[in-house]
Amino acid sequence: MKNLKKIESSLETIKNDIKEFYDPKIWGFLTLNGVCIDIETTQIQWIFAKYKAIDEIVMFYVDVKLSQTVPTITDIIPSAIISQREIVDMFGINIEDSQKGLYLDEDSLSTPLAGCGI
């Protein structure tokens, strides 16, 4: 896709990368997203869009395994808390300071999107 710019990062440097990049008056935070690559790996994406520009979108991405913990960005962007809670419910990945239970109850099917829907 023409206007989508993807930047690769790693678990240790992602928080610093976002802190240097983000300016609340120029960039608007859209959401977090998770894509299943294979049975053990999930790709987590942070998506931003520019105000007053036509279709300029930037995406940071990291490949994460099930046993690792992703750092939280709620001290830089307070409205990311709800997207982080959704990723914990749907994929089963650990994110700091985000609890389970946004959509699913305790006695229902858990992590429906993990493992490529099998």
Partner 1 sequence: MKKTITIPLGSQHISLLEPVKFRFVCENEKIIDVSSDVGFVHRGIERACATKFTFEKIPYVVARICGLCAITHSLCYTQAVENLLDGEVSLKAKYLRILLVELDRIHSHMLCLSHVSENAGFEAMFMQIMGDREYVMSLQEMITGNRVQFDYISIGGVNRDIDTNISSQIKKNLTIIKQKVYDYIEQFENNWSLSLKYKNIGKLSLDMAYQYNAIGPLARACGLETDVRSESAYLPYVDVGYKMITRSNGDIYDRNMVRLYEILNSIQMCENIVDGLPSGEIYTKLKGKPNGESLVRLEAPRGELMYYIKGSGKPLLDRVRIKTPTFSSIPAFIEVFKGSDYGDAPAILASFDPCMSCTAK
- Minimum Å gap between C-beta 16 and partner 1 is 20
Give me the least distance between CB of 73 and partner 1, in Å please: 13
Backbone angles phi, psi at 9, to 5 degrees: -145, -175
Pick out residues in 67-96 that bind partner 1 (CB under 8 A): 77-79, 81-82, 90
Q: Which stretch binds partner 1 (CB under 8 A): 8-16, 27-35, 64-72, 92-100?
A: 27-35
In angstroms, the Cα distances linking 110 to 6, 55, 101, 114 are 30, 36, 10, 9
The Cα 102–Cα 111 span in angstroms is 12
CA 104 vs. chain centroid, Å, equals 19
Contact residues: partner 1, CB under 8 A: 1, 4, 24-25, 28-31, 33, 35-36, 47, 49, 51-55, 57, 77-79, 81-82, 90, 102-104, 112-113, 116-117
